[in-house]
Structure 1
Amino acid sequence: MPARSRPSYALTHGNTIMLDANLKNQLKAYLERVTQPIEIVASIDDGAKSQEMLSLLQDIAGLSSYLSVRESRDGSARTPSFSLNRPGADIGIRFAGIPLGHEFTSLVLALLQVGGYPPKAEADVLEQIRALDGEYHFQTYISLSCQNCPDVVQALNLMAVINPRVRHEMIDGALFQDEVERLQIMAVPTVMLNGEPFGQGRMSLEEIVGKLDSKAGARDAERLNAKETFDVLVVGGGPAGAAAAIYAARKGIRTGIAAERFGGQVLDTLAIENFISVKETEGPKLAAALEEHVREYGIDIMNLQRAAALHPAGNGLTEVELANGARLSAKTVIISTGARWRDMNVPGEQEYRTKGVTYCPHCDGPLFKGKRVAVIGGGNSGVEAAIDLAGIVAHVTLLEFAPELRADAVLQRKLFSLPNVTVITQAQTTEVSGDGSKVNGLVYTDRASGASQRLELEGIFVQIGLLPNTDWLKGSIELTRFGEIVVDARGQTSLPGVFAAGDCTTVPYKQIIIAMGQGATAALAAFDHLIRSSAPA
């Protein structure tokens, strides 16, 4: 499928969007997989955006004899928007807005699936979707620059194709700003179900179905408890976990990987330009490639499984207890649970999380168009966020705790060249304030003078580093005061047979390529442990 990026496939002339020749050829090849007629019903008015959307749809329809476009001006749907359907059927997929940027892939997938191309999902998940009872009307508010939104949009579109009781509408929050304001949506993706909040942030197909199927957890735990002992059990599905699983499986031993979400922190990374031999890529694209590689080795992937505890089980075995109560046993365990965004830990932060306090400028930035925001953190991430937001919002204030910014010089030069950015150093954030429903300000202490200062603003983007996901390991293996797992050069932890790799460990420099190398090291060390522990006396 087309890469989830912002390619220059669309040329705008007046109110006309044209696909470039290269993308047309690619799209035409994909549409050859369509086997059933598709009617695209465009709900339009005389506005410029309606005409842009209509020109795009007509351009696409011209690439396949199975596609047709019909205009509707009855005012019964959001304008501009369009639905995808088969004649005589009621699929229930609608795009409110013009799905360019990251969402162009969502449109192409929806066309294929409505046109009869079988969706790619596990058979048991598809059966779960078909068995859902009741009526489900989903609405997903997105921004076209959000790399997390397409996964949610594509999952819900697939569900609408599979089950006629499911309907889904993607809504571009930047285009329907009045709705965003009325519903006080300040983070994307935001999913509504039958008019009520359902979820925010990245959600996989399995996660969505699991939330709707109340018995899924118990069935899952029963299935996992029945699994045989693994030679190597990897806990965590980021770059370190994927590398560890592949290296272990290549030794011909029974390997499993239990992950809260396969891909880990990489899924939230937009641009990757320092992965050696790959000039540039995006996090979701790399995560998909990792999973595809892991699956080639027949590794038992147990996704959406959060580790809760680690227990020595006797006879040289270790048990990993999962949040659903299931227990997995293994001869060796490799922990690669990664890290998460660090919170400010100040009053008001949790209360206004997703109500103005956010952690992804690429995803949520467009929702703050024309508003005043703050970025907390003066490292590369914080400065990059401020630069990105400056092109969207009215004003950015960057606050850094230290006397100087820590970002690369080239980024600082760009930052200080922007007219709508203010930088405040030696600033310690002490409180997030709001009106009960959304953020309206931030309080900080000037560390030089000790004076308390207040900023009036509508959004706060937190970019102050990461915390290791190791709370579940307290008391079972040695951790530093920062929560990092103490490992030696081979990835061995303080518990024999238990290894660790990646951002959750004491190894310096939290980088994708370093995590992968650590994962390979830990797998080789685990294999060596298996050989030595099973050798006759």
Structure 2
Amino acid sequence: MLDANIKTQLKAYLEKLQRPIELVASLDDSAKAQELRGLLVDIAELSNKVTLREDGQHTLRPSFGVAEPGQSPRIHFAGIPMGHEFTSLILALLQTGGHPPKVDQAVIDQIKALPGQFAFETFISLSCHNCPDVVQALNLMAVLNPGVTSTMIDGAMFQDLVNERRIMAVPTVFLNGAEFGQGRMTIEEIVARLDSGSAARAAEAIAAKETFDVLVVGGGPAGSAAAVYAARKGIRTGVVAERFGGQVMDTMGIENFISVKETEGPKLVAALEQHVKQYEVDVMNLQRAAKLIPGELIEIQLENGAVLKSKSVILSTGARWREMNVPGEKEYKAKGVCFCPHCDGPLFKGKRVAVIGGGNSGVEAAIDLAGIVSHVTLLEFADTLRADAVLQSKLNSLPNVTVIKSALTTEVTGDGQKVTGIRYKDRVSGDEKLVELEGIFVQIGLLPNTDWLKGTVELSERGEIIIDAKGQTSVKGVFAAGDCTTVPYKQIIIAMGAGATASLGAFDHLIRSSVPA
């Protein structure tokens, strides 16, 4: 099952086991079960602290559990955890075997103190780059708290269950049989939802913080760069972010980050977070800004009611996926309307889908999906595609792709439970048409996360924060950087440079403000 190189690496990892572990297989007569058994045999042969038994009683087959000998498994993998989930498997083995997790002690204590029984099921696809974060978070919770169980379910292998639960997006998490959430979730977010008193405690702690010299709002590439540059000046620096890493966490392949041949969003975010935490930066995660109040000391009011004060502020709130804003879109989001072809594409194997948008993202999505689904219809508003010529050439070579230009999307149709089609208007003839399908992937660009700033900071017609060459906004002491601003090109490396610029601009402002007139 595993090649020699992977076995060598895995053997080295398993040397970190501090106590014996047991793999408990629940198999059937299928070919996938034999493939899974081969994987488990390979793992057991790599360490004398790992044993395998095949008398598991899990209802999902093929599957296996990970446990200490003599205990019932609290971690289960229904499917073969390869691809992006191989890391989830390794961490489950190590953490069950006593290897300490890289999580703040406060979070560990919070997990151990959770009362009750929590049976989590996470539906994933092996090509999903957001799924492992959720699986790994829930697996760790199962290791730390005897009342928690975590089961990873490969949607491609258990299609009947996917159809029964009407799952059309991954990761989708069920708790005690009821839907708990969709999309990427950090362990802190999950625990906060289970611990009813955590929000109030966080608000109280934040409200008690002293005034910052620089407060960065947003934890993506721009915010991370701004925080590092500010902290290196030796001034009191804080970062308040709804989700550290921002949109980059949802980015699959990154191949244009200079000096790094290729990487993935979550890996880059982990490196950014590690770099920021090397300095004395106060990172306040899972906090959404609600209002900016200008003044000699600028105030940032959070949704939880807490207020932070700072001598200068850097806004780096990034952007989000632009939606079509047509009837039916919100009703069928995650029920056929999707935004990540890498994550959700495998759930539409053999089905008909549409891609909205003819830029590079849209055409790349159509090309990727064409290898999975039965047919792709690409709808573009303009009369020409905007994607690079090489991508258009590849797209046009695919037999199961139809390109429709001059198409104005007017409605997402459905049967109350899932998408059944999409309506569009031919902008040339004026005719209204319906395409019957099961999935829609929206790839029409980004919208800046600046709604909360309207009426306070000057914005462009597109809602972007207007800045000058130093990142200064229309409000004294308030700077901005990244995809939420009028910078013409929305790229990770440009956002980082803009974050550094805004930080230096803020530092210059602080120096000049401290000198008496």
**Shared fold (TM-score greater than 0.5)?**
yes
1:160 alignment partner in structure 2: 142
Contact 2:125–2:156 (Cα < 8 Å) also in 1:
yes
2:313 alignment partner in structure 1: 333
1:3 alignment partner in structure 2: none
1:5 alignment partner in structure 2: none
1:261 alignment partner in structure 2: 243
* Pairing 1:28–2:42 present: no
Q: How is 1:447-486 mapped onto 2 (pairs within 5 angstroms)? A: 447-486=427-466
What is the aligned counterpart of 2:397 among 417, 426, 430?
417
Q: 1:535 offset after TM fit, Å?
A: 1.6
2:371 alignment partner in structure 1: 391
Superposed CA offset, 1:383-429 (max 9, x none): 00000000000000000000010000010111111111000000010
Aligned residues with identical type, % of pairs: 72
2:316 counterpart letter in structure 1: S
Q: Distance in 2 between matches of 1:83 and 1:77?
A: 12
Structure 2 residue matching 1:392: 3-state secondary structure: coil
Q: Distance in 2 between matches of 1:270 and 1:285?
A: 10
2:29 alignment partner in structure 1: 46
RMSD over aligned CA atoms reads 0.8
Distance change in 2, residues 1:91/1:331 (3 Å): farther
1:218 alignment partner in structure 2: 200
2:486 alignment partner in structure 1: 506
1:112 alignment partner in structure 2: 94
Q: Distance in 2 between matches of 1:227 and 1:279?
A: 41
1:9 alignment partner in structure 2: none
Q: Distance in 2 between matches of 1:89 and 1:231?
A: 52
1:203 counterpart letter in structure 2: M
Q: TM-score normalised to the size of structure 1? A: 0.95
Contact 2:464–2:485 (Cα < 8 Å) also in 1:
yes
Q: How is 1:272-287 mapped onto 2 (pairs within 5 angstroms)? A: 272-287=254-269
What is the aligned counterpart of 2:131 among 149, 154, 158?
149
The count of residues paired between Structure 1 and Structure 2 equals: 517
2:193 counterpart letter in structure 1: K
Q: 1:296 offset after TM fit, Å?
A: 0.6
Q: Distance in 1 between matches of 2:473 and 2:368?
A: 40
Q: Distance in 2 between matches of 1:92 and 1:331?
A: 49
Q: Distance in 2 between matches of 1:72 and 1:188?
A: 30
- Give structure 1 stretches of 5+ with no counterpart: 1-16
Structure 1 residue matching 2:213: 3-state secondary structure: strand
Distance change in 2, residues 1:493/1:73 (3 Å): closer
Structure 2 residue matching 1:124: 3-state secondary structure: helix
Contact 1:240–1:502 (Cα < 8 Å) also in 2:
yes
Runs ≥4 residues deviating over 4 A? none
Q: Distance in 2 between matches of 1:32 and 1:263?
A: 32
Q: Distance in 1 between matches of 2:470 and 2:8?
A: 49
* Pairing 1:55–2:42 present: no
Superposed CA offset, 1:228-260 (max 9, x none): 011100000000000000000000111110111
2:469 counterpart letter in structure 1: A
2:301 counterpart letter in structure 1: E
Q: 1:91 offset after TM fit, Å?
A: 4.6
1:121 alignment partner in structure 2: 103
Q: Distance in 2 between matches of 1:20 and 1:319?
A: 56
- Give structure 2 stretches of 5+ with no counterpart: none
Contact 1:91–1:164 (Cα < 8 Å) also in 2:
no
1:434 counterpart letter in structure 2: G
1:208 counterpart letter in structure 2: I
Q: Distance in 2 between matches of 1:431 and 1:282?
A: 34
1:68 alignment partner in structure 2: 51
Q: 1:21 offset after TM fit, Å?
A: 2.1
1:495 alignment partner in structure 2: 475
Q: TM-score normalised to the size of structure 2? A: 0.99
Q: 1:30 offset after TM fit, Å?
A: 1.2
* Pairing 1:429–2:393 present: no
1:7 alignment partner in structure 2: none
Contact 1:45–1:73 (Cα < 8 Å) also in 2:
no
Q: Distance in 2 between matches of 1:499 and 1:308?
A: 17
Structure 2 residue matching 1:309: 3-state secondary structure: strand
2:151 alignment partner in structure 1: 169
Q: Distance in 2 between matches of 1:167 and 1:212?
A: 14
Q: 1:89 offset after TM fit, Å?
A: 2.8
Q: 1:73 offset after TM fit, Å?
A: 6.4
Q: 1:298 offset after TM fit, Å?
A: 2.2
